[in-house]
Structure 1
Amino acid sequence: MRRSITFALLPALAMMLLACQPPGGGGEGEELFVTIATGGQSGNYYPIGGSLASLYEDELGATTTVEATGASVDNINLLDEGRAEMALVQADAASQAYAGEGPFEEPVDSFSAVASLYPQYVQVITIAGSGVETMEDLAGKRVSVGAPNSGVELNARAVTGAFGLSYEDFSPQYLSYSETIDGMRNGNIDAGFFTSGIPNPSVTDLSTTDEVRVVPLEGEGVQNLLNDYDYYSEAIIPAGTYEDQEEDVPTVTFANLLVVSNELDEDTVYELTRTMWENIERIQQTNAAAREITLETAQDGIPIELHPGAERYYSEQGMR
């Protein structure tokens, strides 16, 4: 049976509430519950999820929970286990889940897309004096590849492989963004993957104390990525994104997705989708990455099925 978080009638609870209320008050309760799985508190997912939760509370009277997680892979598992209704995930993780590849031993298709949010930029970050100037220089270094079960780690594995490197060629460290920053400052980490919107808040923080360098992704390695994965695109991290970054740096991007459990019915997801887009200016105020979330690009780069509720909303807007 499908779970519905929209206007769920709770008769037994309603009777209890009626018994406790003063004369003339109350009635049957109607409640909306949304748990949003995000990422680490130092990344972009967590504040955007928090902004969505606040929006749903104010506009739909929802009861919401924002979960800090290991991000994409963890979030897909939470959806599949029925422990979250909504999540932010990377397009690459979603694609591999549907295919049963990478960290997913069998296909996981218990979720579907609501929207493409903002571009996820692959940022390989180091600091002056590390000896890392190209991807090939990661060999023999201590490299943070992201938290375990994160989309960052999934992406780091694909990118290093495309450049002819394996985890045996360097010392992989499974760290969160904040742990990676601390490691760079303490001299324990030489470089790290920060796969996120730009600017990444943790890298911005690092640039206040150290000379940040963004390692370019270019040449044959990028062509390998484009050939092997259809959701990657070439992109530029503009000069000035971080302090001391004087030139544009080539890299690759793919989409971040807002996804929901397939246990949610069409009407529920329609309301969640409509409410987000009708109040998108509020979400865009969250941070720099969120400013790139637009209705015009809502269906770009989605490699999985669109939920029928979201599809209905886009059809009403003449976008399907």
Structure 2
Amino acid sequence: MTRRRLFVGLMVVALIVCMSTTLFGAASVRRYAYSASNPGGVWYTMCGGIVKLLQEKLPSNIRVDMIASGGSVLNTRRLASGEADLTMAYSTHLWECWNGEGIMKGRPNDNPRIMFEIYKSDHYFVTLANSGIKSMKDLEGKRVVLGPPGSGSSDNSRFTLRTLGINAIESELAFGDAAQALAEGKVHAMGMSGSPAAGLVEVAATRDIYIIPFTDEELDKIVSAGPFFSKGVMPANTYQGQTKDVPVFMFTVYQVASKNVPADDVYEMMKVCFSPEGKEYLGAVHPYWKTMKNDPELVKALGIPYHPGAERFWREQEQKK
């Protein structure tokens, strides 16, 4: 009887140890949601790349999972609500979130924290070369896809048309669907943030496309009306058949984290991304990753603090100089 009790006691102890190991082991793994984009856009490839890098190179107790998204608008809102822990977002949307303007009108939120600048992005409108559309004014009354719902492309396209007083027949489609609709002549033009975009690269391989140039007057209106927009140029040969530079407007894209992500974990992510191996890998995923850097003056102008983990990383980089 004593032996049986001893056996049962040992089994109970073993079960408790096993359960404790399982429970505490699971609790020690910290999972973070990375809000990304959808197929056909620039970000889909970029986000897939950074999430894969982080999954492979971070310590095993830190996991990052990619969740599909419409783009910068939805990403920013998710970060504000706590649905996302990490994301890419436009400077304009981050500013609006922090200050309770635009996409977050009346709902200021202090969750976003800057990790680093990824790249300067362009916004532009594309049509087929044989459409007869040669200027932004020619979009009056035409069928124009703004971008996917919840995307920065859609927000920028809508802002552009409103600022320039152009009344188009507007719609929202996923990047891949919009590119296909353009190629098939179902729409006259589509707006896009970031180049080259995968969907448009595919269209340009089979159809002659035309990037609609902005005039100086149009760019002056856009830059005056939008915080952190600036004049820029899409270099020639960004797309097949585009033989000349095209005037566009620009904005900054940031890698950001929620203030609730522990500083040590963000610091580990920074080390992975900016390691020689990390930079080489990301640069091969998409050329925009090659320009990731710190621009403290621009961050100061934006008015959003660095994440403490990123702040530690950048401080250490300065000390090494």
Q: Which TM bucket (shorter chain)?
A: 0.7 to 0.9
The alignment status of 1:214 with 2:211, answered yes or no, reads yes
Unpaired segments ≥5 residues, structure 2: 1-15
Q: Deviations over 1:246-294 (max 9, x none)?
A: 111111111111111111132222222222111222111102333333x
Aligned length: 298
The corresponding residue for 2:53 is 55
Superposition deviation, residue 241 in structure 1: 1.2
Normalized against structure 1, the TM-score is what?
0.85
What SS is found at the alignment partner of 1:206?
A: helix
The corresponding residue for 2:318 is 318
Any conservation in 2 of the 1:270–1:309 contact (CA below 8 Å)?
yes
Any conservation in 2 of the 1:14–1:27 contact (CA below 8 Å)?
no
Q: Distance in 2 between matches of 1:317 and 1:55?
A: 21
The corresponding residue for 1:91 is 91
The corresponding residue for 1:181 is 179
The corresponding residue for 1:8 is none
Superposition deviation, residue 219 in structure 1: 1.7
Any conservation in 2 of the 1:231–1:301 contact (CA below 8 Å)?
no
Q: Distance in 1 between matches of 2:261 and 2:20?
A: 26
What SS is found at the alignment partner of 1:154?
A: helix
The alignment status of 1:247 with 2:247, answered yes or no, reads no
Q: Which amino acid in the other structure matches residue 284 of structure 1?
A: G
- CA 1:138 to 1:266, structure 2 compared with 1: closer, same or farther past 3 Å? same
The corresponding residue for 2:104 is 104
Q: Distance in 1 between matches of 2:21 and 2:318?
A: 44
Superposition deviation, residue 53 in structure 1: 1.7
The corresponding residue for 1:149 is 150
What SS is found at the alignment partner of 1:130?
A: coil
The corresponding residue for 1:229 is 226
Structure whose residues are more often helix by fraction: 2
What SS is found at the alignment partner of 1:103?
A: helix
Q: Distance in 1 between matches of 2:227 and 2:318?
A: 26
Superposition deviation, residue 298 in structure 1: 5.1
Q: Distance in 2 between matches of 1:290 and 1:43?
A: 15
Q: Deviations over 1:65-105 (max 9, x none)?
A: 11121111111222223222101111111112222222223
The corresponding residue for 2:160 is 159
Q: State which of 192, 198, 203 in structure 1 corresponds to 2:200.
A: 203
Q: Distance in 1 between matches of 2:122 and 2:242?
A: 16
What SS is found at the alignment partner of 1:244?
A: coil
Any conservation in 2 of the 1:14–1:29 contact (CA below 8 Å)?
no
The corresponding residue for 2:279 is 280
- CA 1:136 to 1:312, structure 2 compared with 1: closer, same or farther past 3 Å? same
The alignment status of 1:16 with 2:24, answered yes or no, reads no
Q: Distance in 1 between matches of 2:179 and 2:17?
A: 50
Any conservation in 1 of the 2:279–2:289 contact (CA below 8 Å)?
no
Q: Distance in 2 between matches of 1:111 and 1:37?
A: 13
What SS is found at the alignment partner of 2:272?
A: helix
Unpaired segments ≥5 residues, structure 1: 1-12, 21-25
Q: Distance in 2 between matches of 1:145 and 1:38?
A: 19
The alignment status of 1:81 with 2:81, answered yes or no, reads yes
What SS is found at the alignment partner of 1:93?
A: helix
Superposition deviation, residue 230 in structure 1: 4.1
Hey, which bits of structure 1, 4+ residues long, moved more than 3 A? 17-20, 26-30, 297-302
The corresponding residue for 1:7 is none
Superposition deviation, residue 32 in structure 1: 3.2
Q: Distance in 1 between matches of 2:298 and 2:185?
A: 38
Q: Which amino acid in the other structure matches residue 113 of structure 2?
A: S
The corresponding residue for 1:289 is 288
What SS is found at the alignment partner of 2:87?
A: strand
| Percentage of matched positions with identical amino acids | 24
- CA 1:82 to 1:171, structure 2 compared with 1: closer, same or farther past 3 Å? same
Superposition deviation, residue 171 in structure 1: 0.4
What SS is found at the alignment partner of 1:267?
A: helix
Any conservation in 1 of the 2:42–2:196 contact (CA below 8 Å)?
no
Q: Distance in 1 between matches of 2:296 and 2:240?
A: 33
Any conservation in 1 of the 2:80–2:97 contact (CA below 8 Å)?
no
Q: Distance in 1 between matches of 2:17 and 2:208?
A: 60
The corresponding residue for 1:9 is none
The alignment status of 1:117 with 2:103, answered yes or no, reads no
Superposition deviation, residue 111 in structure 1: 1.4
Superposition deviation, residue 64 in structure 1: 2.5
RMSD: 2.5
> Which structure has the bigger radius of gyration?
2
What SS is found at the alignment partner of 2:239?
A: coil
Q: Which amino acid in the other structure matches residue 163 of structure 1?
A: L
The corresponding residue for 2:265 is 268
